[in-house]
Homo-oligomer: A and B are copies of this chain.
Amino acid sequence: MSQAKSAEPRPYHHGDLRNALVDAARRLLEAEGPSALSLRAVAREAGVSPAAPYHHFKDKAELLDAVAHEGWHTLNTQMAQAKSEDGGALTGLGIAYVCFAHENPALYRVMYDAVREKEALPEDMQDNKDSAYCLVRDTLIEHGADPAAETHLELATIAAWCGAHGLAEMSGFKQFQHLKDELGGEREFLAAVLGHMGLFTK
């Protein structure tokens, strides 16, 4: 494992240990998976003692929250990019969402583990202009949803998100491989399933 970046004998005070810990956690997560992500391992990876993280995070959950926060941020920007590239079709957003989950499986899991613990939407997804949630809602409006029918709009956004999250967790199943082969690829499979959700038509 990469032991931080430099070989010089780190000064007693790290300088920016908080960020270093979050980075180390992401590195470990990617390399070893979520089950290997112990606080102690993160501290080792960052080159500090096992107790050091407690001066920056209340407990392990709070460190994972910080990792998840970065994850939501990345997801938001990737979906915004997908929207601009794809001409703004809802299916494109759905595929971008699922692809993010596939490309960062461990991170995606940490993101939703945190969310399940709190039983609440992460702040990064709430009524923040840059959130993927709002991106989806705006896209629905562009495709004809009535912006005045707030409840309707909110329900539709939730439905789309539920479908995308479900697909993100399911589409990796081995049992679906034959469908991907049949349809000519992963993306085609995703688009087909999303298409069957109604909301994602077109």
Q: How many residues belonging to A are interface residues under a CB distance threshold of 8 Å?
A: 40
Whether a CB of chain B sits under 8 angstroms from the CB of A87 is no
Contacts of A112 in B (CB 8 A): 169
B109 to A163, Cβ gap below 8 A? no
At the interface, yes or no: A66 with Cβ under 8 Å from chain B?
Answer: no
Q: Is A11 an interface residue (CB 8 A)?
A: no
Q: Does A36 contact B (CB under 8 A)?
A: no
A151 CA to B23 CA, complexed, in Å:
43
A156 CB contacts on chain B under 8 angstroms: 196
For A121, the closest partner residue in chain B by CB is B175
CB-defined contacts of A193 to chain B, threshold 8 Å: 155, 158-159, 162
The interface of chain A, by Cβ under 8 A from chain B, is 109, 112, 116, 119-121, 126, 151, 154-156, 158-167, 169-170, 172-176, 179, 182-183, 192-199, 201
